[in-house]
Structure 1
Amino acid sequence: MVNVGISVSCPRCGGPMRSPGLMNSDWRCDACGPMPPLHVAEHIGPEIVESAAAHAGGVPIWCPWPLPMGWTVTGVGWAGDERGGTRATALACTGPGPLGGPADVVLVAEEPGVGMGNRFAALAGPDPGPYLADSLDTTAAHAKVKAAGWPTPLWAVGAAADRSAYVGEARGLWLYAVAWPADAGYLFAEDVVLHDLTDWLPKELVYGAPSPYLHGAA
């Protein structure tokens, strides 16, 4: 790992984690129980993203590419440990919103049961399935992106009033796109292409000030 500060928290609730010890071999959250710890780099740059990609273990790190005009990459995180491997990743971006004003987006890829995407989307529980059930049966996709070259439908799921959230599936994992403020979700009404940074890290990526949404309680 590059020499940079790393914060560790629970991916599901954002609370503190207890590291493995003599009495317990798992990372644990007092509220959520055994959980893969979420590691978030306190700064962002190409070396940090390269290191995160090396830790990803086959879990994509989704990034809009090319970045929309004026947007920057503002954070990266991964949930996992040496024992269980990486089970989720998150990438934050910041830029001008489609309806004006600043906007933030967090893209999450995760295995079932982690709950990190639900946390950012302000949903209860570890998975989005209960929130998707009605939409999948009765409505067409609310947004469509291309993920690693494949058309990928996304469905809107209920979120807090200050954000919008879309969920779909890509590469066999949940894909979440969460945007602040809520009207920033209109970004996904456009032709957004998501690139997996574990496949290739574009040298032209632009980096900005660290996102508050990866470091604080979402």
Structure 2
Amino acid sequence: MRGEPSCPKCGGRVRAPGLFADSWQCAVHGAVHPMQPVVPPSAEALTVVVNRTQVPVWMPWPLPVGWLFTGVACAGDERTGGRATAVACSGPSPLGGPGELLLIAEELGVGLGARYAGIEGPDPGPGLRVDQPPQVKVLAAGRPTPLWQVNDVPSDRAVFAGEAMGLWLWAVVWPERCGVLLYDELVLTDLRDAGSEVDLVPCGALSPRILS
């Protein structure tokens, strides 16, 4: 995943457009938006994704006390622009110990959120019970945004999903108990609107979660 584009749904190798196909191809999933190699977190890396993407780049802003930006990923190519983004943040869990948070914005069917959630994708599917009240709400780009807990995910994480700006918004947290971070109505900013403030984002070491 770090050296060349990969499939956003499974992480497998993809074949570039060519004579027989005008889109990137995964041997398992067919046509996909390629996942670009992940680079160490920095303001420059964040700016590249912000300038390339067609979807939001969500980040808690201001970051919770003690939390750092620890990675960014993008699915899409130069022709289509970014169709999915993932931002990793790491810091102290409200209940003690380290915590990890991934925020994913994506178009329908891309599959990046489901991959990080650890479920069959490409979208939340029957694990998302929107016929019930939402478990948490975040403030995304100034708008109250309900998120529902996704069922049947691996026990080491908590996963929430909903819709923001007409696109999927996923929040994946490790460990599972760190999900309480979202119960305080986290304020999310689309970094495409942050301008020069992107340079002020505090960076930590690359999160292994965004490489998985």
Same fold (TM over 0.5): yes
Task: Say whether residues 1:122 and 2:118 are aligned partners.
Answer: yes
Task: Say whether residues 1:209 and 2:205 are aligned partners.
Answer: yes
194 and 40 in structure 1: CA distance in 2 versus 1, 3 angstrom threshold: farther
Cα RMSD for the two superposed structures = 1.5
Q: Residue by residue, what CA displacement relative to the aligned partner does 1:177-196 show, whole Å, maximum 9, x if unpaired?
A: 00111111111011310000
**Structure-1 separation of matches of 2:52 and 2:3:** 13
For structure 2, which runs of at least 5 residues remain unmatched after alignment?
A: none
DSSP-derived class of the 1:213 partner: helix
**How far is the alpha carbon of 1:6 from its aligned partner?**
5.8
Residue type matched to 2:141 in 1? A
Task: Say whether residues 1:172 and 2:166 are aligned partners.
Answer: yes
Residue type matched to 1:145 in 2? V
DSSP-derived class of the 2:192 partner: coil
Equivalenced residue count is 208
12, 15, 26: which one pairs with 2:9? 12
144, 147, 151: which one pairs with 2:140? 147
169, 172, 182: which one pairs with 1:188? 182
Task: Say whether residues 1:108 and 2:108 are aligned partners.
Answer: no
Q: Normalization by structure 2: what TM-score?
A: 0.93
Residue type matched to 1:70 in 2? G
Q: Is the 8 A contact 1:80 1:87 kept in 2?
A: yes
Residue type matched to 1:13 in 2? C
Task: Say whether residues 1:53 and 2:41 are aligned partners.
Answer: no
**Structure-1 separation of matches of 2:125 and 2:87:** 22
What's the counterpart of residue 71 of structure 1? Answer: 67
Overall identity of the aligned pairs, in %: 48
**Structure-2 separation of matches of 1:143 and 1:7:** 36
Q: Normalization by structure 1: what TM-score?
A: 0.90
Residue type matched to 1:199 in 2? D
Q: Is the 8 A contact 1:162 1:182 kept in 2?
A: yes
**Structure-2 separation of matches of 1:206 and 1:109:** 21
**How far is the alpha carbon of 1:87 from its aligned partner?**
1.2
**Structure-1 separation of matches of 2:211 and 2:118:** 15
Q: Is the 8 A contact 2:39 2:45 kept in 1?
A: no
DSSP-derived class of the 1:41 partner: coil
Q: Residue by residue, what CA displacement relative to the aligned partner does 1:27-77 show, whole Å, maximum 9, x if unpaired?
A: 1111211110011432111111111101012x1000000100110001111
**Structure-2 separation of matches of 1:200 and 1:88:** 18
**How far is the alpha carbon of 1:84 from its aligned partner?**
2.9
**Structure-2 separation of matches of 1:209 and 1:79:** 21
**Structure-1 separation of matches of 2:138 and 2:35:** 26
**How far is the alpha carbon of 1:123 from its aligned partner?**
1.5
Q: Is the 8 A contact 1:113 1:127 kept in 2?
A: yes
